[in-house]
Amino acid sequence: MFGKHTCQNCCPNEMKYFPKIVALPGPVVPVPSPDRSVLAYGSLRGDTLGPLSPDPTPVTFQVVGALSNVTVSPSGNELVVQNDGVYQITISINAQATAAPDPDQPFFTVSITVNGQPIFLNGIAVFNVVNRSSSAYVVQATLAAGDLVGASAASDSFVASYANRSLTIVQLSG
């Protein structure tokens, strides 16, 4: 009863080894699944110091990241969507770290832009970045094919500037 168990005792028709693998001739073509692929995405990055002025000025980028169904504008500072849909847009930006921070903690404002205008005109998409800090802002918005997505920044402080930053968009639905 508690003796040595062998498969031949309880399962005489079962094999003691793994089943034989049979190779089929020719390549195996995968069966297409329903369309669950990523619809679109794109990113831009920058790491040089960016100048700020009292008027909103486009945030500059030097590096183009991965792109799919998204292109880059001629200025290199905006992503151009190719399809209508709902997109998630993220801007991440760092303030320049100064050796002697201003006691008033100067800050600058950043806004995600579509076609050069703040994405939400009532200002809810404007956020502040305080000296020696970083910040990220994420919004979802309906965009049309050809829309240019970027960011702008402004500051009244003559010592504030921005450094590392990235802009990404991901299409959530068509």
pLDDT in tens, 150-160: 999 888 877 77
Q: How far apart are CA 43 and CA 64, in angstroms?
A: 6
Residue of 132 and 80 predicted with greater confidence = 80
Note the pLDDT of residue 127.
59
Note the pLDDT of residue 147.
97
* Burial (CB count <10 Å: 0-12, 13-18, 19+), residue 79: buried
Q: How far apart are CA 127 and CA 123, in angstroms?
A: 9
Confidence of residue 22 (pLDDT cuts 50, 70, 90): low
Percent of the chain with pLDDT over 70: 64
Note the pLDDT of residue 18.
46
Percent of the chain with pLDDT over 90: 37
Q: What is the mean pLDDT of residues 109-132?
A: 72
Encoding tokens for residue 9? 């005792």
What is 38-173's CATH number, 3.30.1860.10, 2.60.120.40, 3.30.360.10, 3.40.50.410?
Answer: 2.60.120.40
Q: How far apart are CA 59 and CA 113, in angstroms?
A: 10
Residue 33 has pLDDT above 50, yes or no: no
**If you average pLDDT over every residue of the chain, what do you get?**
77
Q: Phi first, then psi: what are they for 164, rounded to 5°?
A: -60, 135
Residue 23 has pLDDT above 80, yes or no: no
Residue 21 has pLDDT above 80, yes or no: no
Q: How far apart are CA 63 and CA 81, in angstroms?
A: 18
Encoding tokens for residue 6? 């062998």
Q: What is the mean pLDDT of residues 32-50?
A: 77
pTM given for the model: 0.71
Highest mean pLDDT of the ranges 24-38, 65-79, 105-119: 65-79
